[in-house]
Amino acid sequence: MAQILAIESSCDETAASVCIEGVIASNIIASQKIHEQYGGVVPELASRAHLQAIVQVVDTSLKKANVTLEDIDAIAFTQSPGLIGALLVGTEFAKSLALAFNKPLIAVHHMQAHVLANMIQSKDKTNAIPEFPFLCLTVSGGHTQIVLCEDYLQMKVIGQTLDDAAGEAFDKSAKILGLPYPGGPLIDKYAKDGNADKYKFPEPKIDGLNFSFSGLKTAILYFIRDEKIKNDNFVEENIADICASIQSRIVSILLNKLKKAADETGINNICIAGGVSANKGLRSSFEKIGIEEGWKTFIPAFEYCTDNAAMIAITAYYKYKAGIFEDLSVVPSARAVF
Ligand code: KG4
Ligand code: ZN
Protein backbone atom coordinates (compact mmCIF):
# COMPACT_ATOMS: atom_id res chain seq x y z
CA MET A 1 0.00 0.00 0.00
CA ALA A 2 1.75 3.16 -1.20
CA GLN A 3 1.64 5.96 1.37
CA ILE A 4 2.92 9.25 0.01
CA LEU A 5 3.60 12.55 1.75
CA ALA A 6 3.41 15.53 -0.65
CA ILE A 7 4.47 19.13 -0.11
CA GLU A 8 3.34 22.15 -2.18
CA SER A 9 5.04 25.55 -1.83
CA SER A 10 5.11 27.06 -5.34
CA CYS A 11 3.35 30.34 -4.56
CA ASP A 12 1.51 31.63 -1.50
CA GLU A 13 0.03 28.48 0.05
CA THR A 14 2.07 26.14 2.21
CA ALA A 15 0.39 22.77 1.85
CA ALA A 16 0.92 19.11 2.70
CA SER A 17 -1.10 16.00 1.96
CA VAL A 18 -0.91 12.29 2.62
CA CYS A 19 -2.28 9.97 -0.05
CA ILE A 20 -2.76 6.28 0.77
CA GLU A 21 -3.06 4.03 -2.29
CA GLY A 22 -4.50 6.89 -4.36
CA VAL A 23 -6.98 8.06 -1.71
CA ILE A 24 -6.40 11.44 -0.03
CA ALA A 25 -6.06 10.90 3.71
CA SER A 26 -5.23 14.52 4.61
CA ASN A 27 -5.08 17.86 2.82
CA ILE A 28 -3.70 20.74 4.92
CA ILE A 29 -3.29 24.29 3.58
CA ALA A 30 -1.88 27.40 5.27
CA SER A 31 -2.70 30.46 3.14
CA GLN A 32 -0.38 33.42 3.46
CA LYS A 33 -2.41 36.47 4.41
CA ILE A 34 0.62 38.80 4.45
CA HIS A 35 0.37 39.56 0.70
CA GLU A 36 -3.09 41.18 0.85
CA GLN A 37 -1.68 44.52 2.01
CA TYR A 38 0.68 44.64 -0.99
CA GLY A 39 -1.94 43.90 -3.66
CA GLY A 40 -0.11 40.79 -4.90
CA VAL A 41 2.31 38.05 -3.86
CA VAL A 42 5.69 39.40 -2.66
CA PRO A 43 8.18 36.57 -3.43
CA GLU A 44 10.57 37.24 -0.54
CA LEU A 45 7.72 37.32 1.97
CA ALA A 46 6.29 34.13 0.49
CA SER A 47 9.57 32.24 1.05
CA ARG A 48 9.75 33.45 4.64
CA ALA A 49 6.13 32.51 5.35
CA HIS A 50 6.70 29.01 3.87
CA LEU A 51 9.66 28.55 6.23
CA GLN A 52 7.53 29.57 9.20
CA ALA A 53 4.60 27.29 8.31
CA ILE A 54 6.09 24.17 6.75
CA VAL A 55 6.93 22.12 9.87
CA GLN A 56 3.48 22.58 11.35
CA VAL A 57 1.67 21.97 8.05
CA VAL A 58 3.54 18.72 7.37
CA ASP A 59 3.13 17.56 10.97
CA THR A 60 -0.62 18.25 10.89
CA SER A 61 -1.07 16.41 7.61
CA LEU A 62 0.70 13.31 8.98
CA LYS A 63 -1.35 13.38 12.19
CA LYS A 64 -4.62 13.91 10.31
CA ALA A 65 -3.82 10.87 8.13
CA ASN A 66 -2.82 8.92 11.23
CA VAL A 67 0.62 8.00 9.86
CA THR A 68 4.22 8.71 10.88
CA LEU A 69 7.21 9.54 8.70
CA GLU A 70 8.44 5.98 9.20
CA ASP A 71 5.22 4.68 7.58
CA ILE A 72 5.61 6.87 4.49
CA ASP A 73 6.84 5.18 1.27
CA ALA A 74 7.89 8.31 -0.65
CA ILE A 75 8.22 12.06 -0.17
CA ALA A 76 6.92 14.26 -3.01
CA PHE A 77 7.27 17.98 -3.64
CA THR A 78 6.41 20.61 -6.24
CA GLN A 79 9.54 21.12 -8.32
CA SER A 80 8.20 23.64 -10.87
CA PRO A 81 6.88 26.07 -11.99
CA GLY A 82 6.55 28.80 -9.36
CA LEU A 83 8.45 31.40 -7.36
CA ILE A 84 11.97 30.06 -7.04
CA GLY A 85 12.46 31.01 -3.39
CA ALA A 86 9.10 29.49 -2.48
CA LEU A 87 9.84 26.28 -4.42
CA LEU A 88 13.24 26.02 -2.72
CA VAL A 89 11.64 25.81 0.72
CA GLY A 90 9.44 22.84 -0.19
CA THR A 91 12.17 21.15 -2.25
CA GLU A 92 14.84 21.35 0.45
CA PHE A 93 12.39 20.31 3.14
CA ALA A 94 11.34 17.25 1.13
CA LYS A 95 14.97 16.39 0.37
CA SER A 96 15.90 16.66 4.06
CA LEU A 97 13.06 14.31 5.05
CA ALA A 98 14.01 11.87 2.28
CA LEU A 99 17.62 11.87 3.47
CA ALA A 100 16.84 11.64 7.18
CA PHE A 101 14.25 8.88 6.83
CA ASN A 102 15.84 7.16 3.83
CA LYS A 103 12.79 7.49 1.58
CA PRO A 104 12.50 7.83 -2.21
CA LEU A 105 11.93 11.33 -3.55
CA ILE A 106 9.36 12.31 -6.21
CA ALA A 107 9.36 15.65 -8.08
CA VAL A 108 6.01 16.94 -9.35
CA HIS A 109 5.11 19.51 -12.00
CA HIS A 110 2.50 21.85 -10.52
CA MET A 111 0.51 22.22 -13.77
CA GLN A 112 0.36 18.46 -14.34
CA ALA A 113 -0.87 18.17 -10.78
CA HIS A 114 -3.68 20.70 -11.40
CA VAL A 115 -4.83 18.49 -14.31
CA LEU A 116 -4.64 15.29 -12.25
CA ALA A 117 -6.72 16.88 -9.47
CA ASN A 118 -9.53 15.57 -11.68
CA MET A 119 -8.37 12.02 -10.82
CA ILE A 120 -8.89 12.44 -7.08
CA GLN A 121 -11.67 10.21 -5.86
CA SER A 122 -13.65 10.85 -2.72
CA LYS A 123 -13.17 8.34 0.13
CA ASP A 124 -16.33 6.46 -0.88
CA LYS A 125 -15.16 6.58 -4.55
CA THR A 126 -18.57 7.76 -5.77
CA ASN A 127 -17.37 10.60 -7.99
CA ALA A 128 -16.70 9.99 -11.69
CA ILE A 129 -13.17 10.50 -13.01
CA PRO A 130 -12.26 11.08 -16.67
CA GLU A 131 -11.08 8.36 -19.03
CA PHE A 132 -8.12 8.92 -21.36
CA PRO A 133 -7.76 10.73 -23.63
CA PHE A 134 -9.23 13.90 -22.16
CA LEU A 135 -8.80 17.64 -22.55
CA CYS A 136 -8.24 19.89 -19.55
CA LEU A 137 -8.61 23.65 -19.42
CA THR A 138 -6.17 24.59 -16.66
CA VAL A 139 -6.79 28.13 -15.47
CA SER A 140 -4.78 29.57 -12.59
CA GLY A 141 -3.07 32.76 -11.45
CA GLY A 142 -0.01 32.12 -13.60
CA HIS A 143 -1.24 29.84 -16.40
CA THR A 144 -4.02 29.33 -18.90
CA GLN A 145 -3.61 26.11 -20.86
CA ILE A 146 -5.58 23.59 -22.84
CA VAL A 147 -3.89 20.26 -22.12
CA LEU A 148 -4.33 17.06 -24.10
CA CYS A 149 -3.92 14.26 -21.60
CA GLU A 150 -3.26 10.82 -23.08
CA ASP A 151 -2.22 9.06 -19.90
CA TYR A 152 -1.49 9.97 -16.27
CA LEU A 153 1.95 11.34 -17.08
CA GLN A 154 1.58 11.91 -20.81
CA MET A 155 0.32 15.44 -21.38
CA LYS A 156 0.72 18.00 -24.14
CA VAL A 157 -0.15 21.72 -23.99
CA ILE A 158 -2.13 22.43 -27.19
CA GLY A 159 -3.14 26.01 -26.37
CA GLN A 160 -2.02 28.66 -23.93
CA THR A 161 -2.14 32.35 -23.13
CA LEU A 162 0.11 34.71 -25.03
CA ASP A 163 0.08 37.29 -22.21
CA ASP A 164 -1.95 37.37 -18.96
CA ALA A 165 -3.38 34.23 -17.36
CA ALA A 166 -7.14 33.95 -16.71
CA GLY A 167 -6.57 34.35 -12.96
CA GLU A 168 -4.52 37.48 -13.64
CA ALA A 169 -7.35 38.81 -15.82
CA PHE A 170 -9.68 38.39 -12.83
CA ASP A 171 -7.20 39.82 -10.33
CA LYS A 172 -6.15 42.81 -12.47
CA SER A 173 -9.78 43.64 -13.30
CA ALA A 174 -10.55 43.53 -9.58
CA LYS A 175 -7.63 45.88 -8.91
CA ILE A 176 -9.01 48.37 -11.46
CA LEU A 177 -12.30 48.24 -9.50
CA GLY A 178 -10.42 48.95 -6.26
CA LEU A 179 -10.98 45.45 -4.83
CA PRO A 180 -8.28 43.80 -2.67
CA TYR A 181 -5.98 40.95 -3.78
CA PRO A 182 -6.76 38.26 -4.82
CA GLY A 183 -9.77 39.74 -6.56
CA GLY A 184 -10.94 36.66 -8.51
CA PRO A 185 -13.13 35.25 -5.72
CA LEU A 186 -14.58 38.75 -5.08
CA ILE A 187 -15.57 39.24 -8.72
CA ASP A 188 -17.22 35.82 -8.49
CA LYS A 189 -19.11 36.91 -5.36
CA TYR A 190 -20.39 40.23 -6.77
CA ALA A 191 -21.20 38.70 -10.17
CA LYS A 192 -23.79 36.44 -8.57
CA ASP A 193 -26.27 39.35 -8.27
CA GLY A 194 -25.33 41.14 -11.49
CA ASN A 195 -26.54 41.40 -15.08
CA ALA A 196 -23.85 39.89 -17.31
CA ASP A 197 -25.27 41.58 -20.45
CA LYS A 198 -25.12 45.10 -19.03
CA TYR A 199 -21.61 45.98 -20.29
CA LYS A 200 -20.01 44.47 -23.41
CA PHE A 201 -16.27 43.88 -23.24
CA PRO A 202 -14.33 42.74 -26.32
CA GLU A 203 -13.44 39.15 -27.19
CA PRO A 204 -9.93 39.04 -28.73
CA LYS A 205 -9.40 37.36 -32.10
CA ILE A 206 -6.45 35.03 -31.50
CA ASP A 207 -5.47 32.26 -33.91
CA GLY A 208 -5.63 28.58 -33.02
CA LEU A 209 -6.13 27.47 -29.45
CA ASN A 210 -4.19 30.29 -27.79
CA PHE A 211 -5.61 32.97 -25.52
CA SER A 212 -4.98 36.64 -24.83
CA PHE A 213 -6.33 38.71 -21.95
CA SER A 214 -4.27 41.90 -22.08
CA GLY A 215 -6.66 43.66 -24.51
CA LEU A 216 -9.61 42.90 -22.24
CA LYS A 217 -7.73 44.36 -19.27
CA THR A 218 -7.01 47.58 -21.20
CA ALA A 219 -10.64 47.82 -22.37
CA ILE A 220 -11.85 47.50 -18.76
CA LEU A 221 -9.31 50.07 -17.57
CA TYR A 222 -10.44 52.71 -20.12
CA PHE A 223 -14.13 51.92 -19.66
CA ILE A 224 -13.94 52.43 -15.89
CA ARG A 225 -11.79 55.57 -16.28
CA ASP A 226 -14.32 57.14 -18.70
CA GLU A 227 -17.37 56.19 -16.63
CA LYS A 228 -15.78 57.59 -13.47
CA ILE A 229 -15.28 60.94 -15.19
CA LYS A 230 -19.09 61.06 -15.66
CA ASN A 231 -19.96 59.62 -12.24
CA ASP A 232 -17.41 59.31 -9.45
CA ASN A 233 -19.48 56.57 -7.79
CA PHE A 234 -19.91 54.51 -10.97
CA VAL A 235 -18.06 51.45 -9.65
CA GLU A 236 -19.78 51.39 -6.25
CA GLU A 237 -23.24 51.87 -7.79
CA ASN A 238 -22.80 49.18 -10.47
CA ILE A 239 -20.35 46.71 -8.93
CA ALA A 240 -22.54 43.61 -9.44
CA ASP A 241 -23.25 44.33 -13.12
CA ILE A 242 -19.60 45.25 -13.82
CA CYS A 243 -18.33 42.05 -12.18
CA ALA A 244 -20.94 39.89 -13.92
CA SER A 245 -20.03 41.42 -17.30
CA ILE A 246 -16.27 40.97 -16.77
CA GLN A 247 -16.71 37.40 -15.53
CA SER A 248 -18.99 36.46 -18.40
CA ARG A 249 -16.46 37.73 -20.97
CA ILE A 250 -13.51 35.88 -19.37
CA VAL A 251 -15.62 32.72 -19.23
CA SER A 252 -16.73 33.02 -22.87
CA ILE A 253 -13.12 33.53 -24.04
CA LEU A 254 -12.12 30.37 -22.17
CA LEU A 255 -15.03 28.19 -23.23
CA ASN A 256 -15.02 29.22 -26.90
CA LYS A 257 -11.42 28.01 -27.18
CA LEU A 258 -12.18 24.85 -25.23
CA LYS A 259 -15.03 24.08 -27.65
CA LYS A 260 -12.66 24.67 -30.59
CA ALA A 261 -10.17 22.25 -29.02
CA ALA A 262 -12.88 19.62 -28.51
CA ASP A 263 -14.07 20.03 -32.12
CA GLU A 264 -10.53 19.81 -33.55
CA THR A 265 -9.43 16.79 -31.49
CA GLY A 266 -12.78 14.97 -31.44
CA ILE A 267 -12.29 14.37 -27.71
CA ASN A 268 -15.39 14.64 -25.57
CA ASN A 269 -14.03 13.90 -22.08
CA ILE A 270 -13.41 17.44 -20.88
CA CYS A 271 -12.07 18.72 -17.54
CA ILE A 272 -11.33 22.07 -15.97
CA ALA A 273 -8.73 22.66 -13.26
CA GLY A 274 -6.77 25.36 -11.41
CA GLY A 275 -7.77 28.23 -9.15
CA VAL A 276 -10.14 29.85 -11.67
CA SER A 277 -12.07 26.57 -11.96
CA ALA A 278 -13.42 27.48 -8.51
CA ASN A 279 -15.32 30.29 -10.27
CA LYS A 280 -19.07 29.68 -10.13
CA GLY A 281 -19.74 31.35 -13.48
CA LEU A 282 -17.12 29.17 -15.21
CA ARG A 283 -18.35 26.00 -13.50
CA SER A 284 -22.00 26.52 -14.48
CA SER A 285 -21.27 27.68 -18.06
CA PHE A 286 -18.88 24.74 -18.48
CA GLU A 287 -21.57 22.29 -17.42
CA LYS A 288 -24.12 23.98 -19.68
CA ILE A 289 -21.90 23.85 -22.78
CA GLY A 290 -21.05 20.25 -21.87
CA ILE A 291 -24.71 19.29 -22.09
CA GLU A 292 -25.13 21.20 -25.39
CA GLU A 293 -22.05 19.58 -26.94
CA GLY A 294 -22.55 16.07 -25.54
CA TRP A 295 -19.32 16.20 -23.49
CA LYS A 296 -18.61 14.24 -20.34
CA THR A 297 -17.52 17.05 -18.02
CA PHE A 298 -15.36 16.86 -14.89
CA ILE A 299 -14.52 19.50 -12.27
CA PRO A 300 -12.32 18.79 -9.24
CA ALA A 301 -13.91 19.20 -5.81
CA PHE A 302 -13.66 22.82 -4.71
CA GLU A 303 -10.72 22.23 -2.32
CA TYR A 304 -8.66 20.66 -5.14
CA CYS A 305 -9.12 23.60 -7.58
CA THR A 306 -6.99 26.28 -5.90
CA ASP A 307 -3.43 25.38 -4.87
CA ASN A 308 -3.26 22.32 -2.62
CA ALA A 309 -0.94 19.39 -1.92
CA ALA A 310 -3.53 16.65 -2.55
CA MET A 311 -3.05 17.19 -6.30
CA ILE A 312 0.73 16.88 -5.80
CA ALA A 313 0.15 13.67 -3.83
CA ILE A 314 -2.08 12.05 -6.47
CA THR A 315 0.41 12.91 -9.23
CA ALA A 316 3.23 11.50 -7.09
CA TYR A 317 1.20 8.34 -6.61
CA TYR A 318 1.17 7.73 -10.38
CA LYS A 319 4.90 8.53 -10.57
CA TYR A 320 5.50 6.09 -7.70
CA LYS A 321 3.64 3.37 -9.58
CA ALA A 322 5.66 4.18 -12.71
CA GLY A 323 8.91 4.07 -10.69
CA ILE A 324 9.92 7.67 -11.43
CA PHE A 325 12.13 8.95 -8.60
CA GLU A 326 14.78 11.66 -8.13
CA ASP A 327 18.07 11.65 -6.29
CA LEU A 328 19.13 14.33 -3.81
CA SER A 329 20.75 16.45 -6.53
CA VAL A 330 17.30 17.48 -7.82
CA VAL A 331 16.69 21.27 -7.87
CA PRO A 332 13.54 23.35 -8.32
CA SER A 333 12.87 25.38 -11.46
CA ALA A 334 10.82 28.58 -11.78
CA ARG A 335 9.82 27.65 -15.32
CA ALA A 336 9.62 24.19 -16.80
CA VAL A 337 7.49 22.77 -19.58
CA PHE A 338 6.11 19.27 -19.59
O1 KG4 B 1 -4.31 27.64 -8.96
P2 KG4 B 1 -4.18 28.80 -8.05
O3 KG4 B 1 -4.69 28.66 -6.65
O4 KG4 B 1 -2.72 29.29 -7.97
C5 KG4 B 1 -1.84 29.32 -9.06
O6 KG4 B 1 -1.26 28.24 -9.38
O7 KG4 B 1 -1.76 30.40 -9.67
O8 KG4 B 1 -4.95 30.01 -8.77
C9 KG4 B 1 -5.04 31.27 -8.18
C10 KG4 B 1 -5.89 32.16 -9.07
C11 KG4 B 1 -5.94 33.62 -8.62
O12 KG4 B 1 -5.74 34.44 -9.74
C13 KG4 B 1 -7.35 33.76 -8.05
O14 KG4 B 1 -7.87 35.06 -8.17
C15 KG4 B 1 -8.11 32.80 -8.94
O16 KG4 B 1 -7.25 31.68 -9.07
N17 KG4 B 1 -9.37 32.38 -8.33
C18 KG4 B 1 -10.58 32.73 -8.82
C19 KG4 B 1 -11.53 32.17 -7.94
N20 KG4 B 1 -10.87 31.50 -6.95
C21 KG4 B 1 -9.54 31.64 -7.20
N22 KG4 B 1 -10.92 33.46 -9.89
C23 KG4 B 1 -12.22 33.63 -10.13
N24 KG4 B 1 -13.20 33.15 -9.33
C25 KG4 B 1 -12.91 32.41 -8.23
N26 KG4 B 1 -13.89 31.92 -7.46
ZN1 ZN C 1 -1.69 26.46 -9.03
Tell me if 182 CB under 6 Å of ligand 1.
Answer: yes
Query: Which of 8, 112, 137, 140 is the best mutation target for the ligand 1 pocket, counting ligand atoms within 8 Å of the beta carbon and taking the most?
Result: 140
Q: What is the pTM of this model?
A: 0.95
Nearest CA to 59 out of 119, 2, 7 is that of 7
- Output the residue whose Cα is nearest ligand 1's atom 24: 279
Mean pLDDT of 250-259: 98
Tell me, yes or no, whether 285 and 139 share the same domain.
yes
Dist CA 280 CA 320 (whole Å): 34
Nearest-atom number in ligand 1 for the CA of 189 is: 26
Q: Does 216 lie in the same domain as 96? A: no
Domain count along the chain: 2
Tell which residue, 23, 12, 220, 4, has the closest CA to residue 121.
23
Q: Which atom of ligand 1 is nearest to the CA of 168?
A: 12
CA–centroid distance, 43 to ligand 2, in Å, is: 15
Q: pLDDT exceeding 90 applies to what percent of the chain? A: 92
Burial 3-29 (b: 16+ CB within 10 A, else e): bbbbbbbbbbbbbbbbbbebbbbbbbb
| Å from CA of 5 to ligand 1 middle | 24
Q: Is the CB of 276 under 6 A from ligand 1?
A: yes
Q: 276 CA distance to ligand 1 centroid (A)? A: 4
Q: Do 152 and 106 fall into the same domain?
A: no
What letter represents residue 118's amino acid? N
- Identify whether 335 is part of a domain: no
Distance in Å, CA 97 to ligand 2 centroid: 24
Model confidence at 199: pLDDT above 80: yes
- Report whether 138 contacts 307 (CB < 8 A): no
Are residues 160 and 243 both part of a single domain? yes
Q: Which atom of ligand 1 is nearest to the CA of 10?
A: 6
Q: For residue 332, is it within any domain?
A: no
Q: 83-136, pLDDT tens digit by residue?
A: 999 999 999 999 999 999 999 999 999 999 999 999 999 888 888 999 999 999
Kindly give the number of the ligand 1 atom that is closest to the alpha carbon of 182: 14
Tell me the CATH number at 86.
3.30.420.40
- How does pLDDT run across 9-64, given as a tens digit for each residue? 999 999 999 999 999 999 999 988 888 888 888 898 999 999 999 999 999 999 99
* Whether residue 338 has pLDDT greater than 80: no
Q: What is the DSSP string of 40-65?
A: S--HHHHHHHHHHHHHHHHHHHHHHH
Q: Whose CA is nearest to atom 8 of ligand 1?
A: 275
Is residue 307 within 6 Å of ligand 1 at its C-beta?
yes
Same domain, 104 and 213: no
- C-beta of residue 251 within 8 angstroms of C-beta of residue 282: yes
With a 6 A CB cut-off, is 184 part of the ligand 1 pocket? yes
Q: Is residue 148 part of a domain?
A: yes
Instruction: For residue 100, report the distance from its CA to the centre of ligand 1, in Å.
Output: 35
For residue 161, what are the β-bridge partners? 211
Please tell me the predicted confidence (pLDDT) of residue 11: 92
Place 72 in a pLDDT band, splitting at 50, 70 and 90.
Answer: very high
Q: Would you say residue 327 lies in a domain?
A: no
Tell whether 213 is covered by a domain: yes
* Pocket flag, ligand 1, residue 306 (CB < 6 Å): yes
Q: In the chain, what is the straight-line distance between the N-terminal and C-terminal CA atoms, in Å?
A: 28
Q: Quickly state the pLDDT bin for 287 (edges 50, 70, 90).
A: very high
Residues 169 and 287 in one domain: yes
Angle between helices 234-265 and 184-191 (to 10 degrees): 100
Assess whether the C-beta atom of 171 lies below 6 angstroms from ligand 1. Answer: yes
If asked whether residues 114 and 19 sit together in one domain, one would say: yes
Ligand 1 geometric centre to CA of 184 (Å): 6
Both 110 and 178 in one domain: the answer is no
Ligand 1 proximity of 145 Cβ (cutoff 6 Å): no
292 and 163 share a domain? yes
Domain extent, residue 267, equals: 134-300
Task: Write out pLDDT tens, residues 35-47.
Answer: 888 888 889 899 9
Alpha carbon nearest to ligand 1 atom 2, residue: 275
Are 179 and 50 in a shared domain?
no
If asked whether residues 110 and 231 sit together in one domain, one would say no
The answer to whether residue 228 is domain-embedded is: yes
Q: Does some domain include residue 337?
A: no
Are 48 and 153 in the same domain? no
Residue 333 lies in a domain: no
The 3-state DSSP class for residue 296 equals strand
Task: Determine the 3-state secondary structure of 163 from DSSP.
Answer: coil
| 199 CA distance to ligand 2 middle (Å) | 30
